[in-house]
Structure 1
Amino acid sequence: MRRLIVVFLCLVFINAKNTCDDGWIGYRGSCYLFGHGLHTFTSAEQYCRQHNGHLVHVNNIEENAFLKDQMRDRKDQPRWLGITDEGSEGVWHWFDTNTLAEFKDFHPGDGGNHNIEDCAFFSNGYDYQWADVACSGNVLPLCEARSSDCEDPVVVG
């Protein structure tokens, strides 16, 4: 019963308060930083780590739609995703965890067997669908971090 009350209070608290650092945007337990400056893929990942995050992982259609809407509102340039098929062409993994990406939103003709295009970004030319590109390209970073509140709730009393 205590755990249920704590979870309920966390949900109320998260919905009532921004749980992300200044400059970050919150959505469903994650915080997103639309970073500045053009970076290669590895430089963008370092940028995100310097800001206590990682290049964005997109886990489902709702999260993808939220991020695409944010970029449309900003009339944004392309932004890196934290995904690569460098290990095996056409098999996409999240760079920082090496876990298989279950959700993908590649534009038709992208995301397949393109030997020198081992990284991906949200393409403004494709209404922010994903496109695979060379990791050496210069693109804006999009960072993600977990929301800091209620990850490991503590029961008092």
Structure 2
Amino acid sequence: MTRIWIFLVVSVIGVSSDSDMKIFKRTVTTPGCPTGWMAFYGKCYFFSHMTETFSGASAFCQSFNSILAEPKTNTEIGYLSGEIILIGVTDYWVGISDVIQDNHWIYHSSLTPVQLHNWGPHEPSGGHCLVMSGYFHGKYADVDCKTQRRFICERYATLQGTLIG
């Protein structure tokens, strides 16, 4: 009898200490995504460790042929929220704002209205750019667009292999 062993490394989680706060670092190898990006339902996500303003974060994502993440389904919201909870208490820019019209939340890349809202307590509160907040377990909070925050980039996964036919 022949046995075949297949190993797939999805993630390795390590914990280090930084000012008595636990920071989760993930090393991820996922098919169809660049190194350091995580795959989920045909998309790749990059969770930054650096901070930028909303426009700086958007420019950073564009430099990697991606956009600020735009969660459009409950499944995507749940996945991103879960990752934020694992990482710890911090905020992440996503590609949603109301900079064109107050309280009219739109996706940054397409300017189409947001259909699903996942607001944290006492939100929205007057800011014009949206973060998924680790303080609110991944729920939405609106903040000043010029503040420095971590961010999540999103792009479609690429197919690997040879197409025959």
Q: In the alignment, residue 129 of structure 2 is paired with which amino acid?
A: C
Q: Is 1:72 matched with 2:85? A: yes
Q: TM-score, normalised by structure 1?
A: 0.79
Segments ≥4 residues shifted beyond 4 Å: none
CA-atom RMSD in angstroms:
1.8
- Per the alignment, in what secondary structure is the counterpart of residue 141 of structure 1? strand
Rounded to whole Å, the distance in 2 between the matches of 1:125 and 1:141 is 15
Aligned match of 2:135: 125
Aligned match of 1:26: 39
Rounded to whole Å, the distance in 2 between the matches of 1:106 and 1:31 is 24
Residue 84 (structure 1) aligned to one of 97, 115, 121: 97
Aligned match of 2:26: none
Rounded to whole Å, the distance in 2 between the matches of 1:147 and 1:76 is 28
1:18, distance to aligned residue in structure 2 (A): 1.6
Rounded to whole Å, the distance in 1 between the matches of 2:137 and 2:52 is 21
Of structures 1 and 2, the one scoring higher in RCO (CA 8 A, sep 6+) is 1
Q: Is 1:146 matched with 2:156? A: yes
Residue 65 (structure 2) aligned to one of 18, 28, 52: 52
Aligned match of 2:122: 109
Deviations 1:102-137 (A, max 9, x none): 12211132136x2xx110101111111110011011
The percent identity for this pair of structures is 24
- Per the alignment, in what secondary structure is the counterpart of residue 103 of structure 1? coil
Q: In the alignment, residue 93 of structure 2 is paired with which amino acid?
A: W
Aligned match of 1:39: 52
1:37, distance to aligned residue in structure 2 (A): 1.3
Give 5+ residue unaligned stretches, structure 2. Answer: 1-29
The structure that is strand-richer by fraction is 2
Rounded to whole Å, the distance in 2 between the matches of 1:131 and 1:71 is 14
Q: Contact 2:33–2:44 (CA<8 Å) still a contact in 1?
A: yes
The structure that is helix-richer by fraction is 1
Rounded to whole Å, the distance in 2 between the matches of 1:74 and 1:121 is 15
Q: Is 1:62 matched with 2:70? A: no
Rounded to whole Å, the distance in 2 between the matches of 1:149 and 1:104 is 31
Give 5+ residue unaligned stretches, structure 1. Answer: 1-16
1:155, distance to aligned residue in structure 2 (A): 7.1
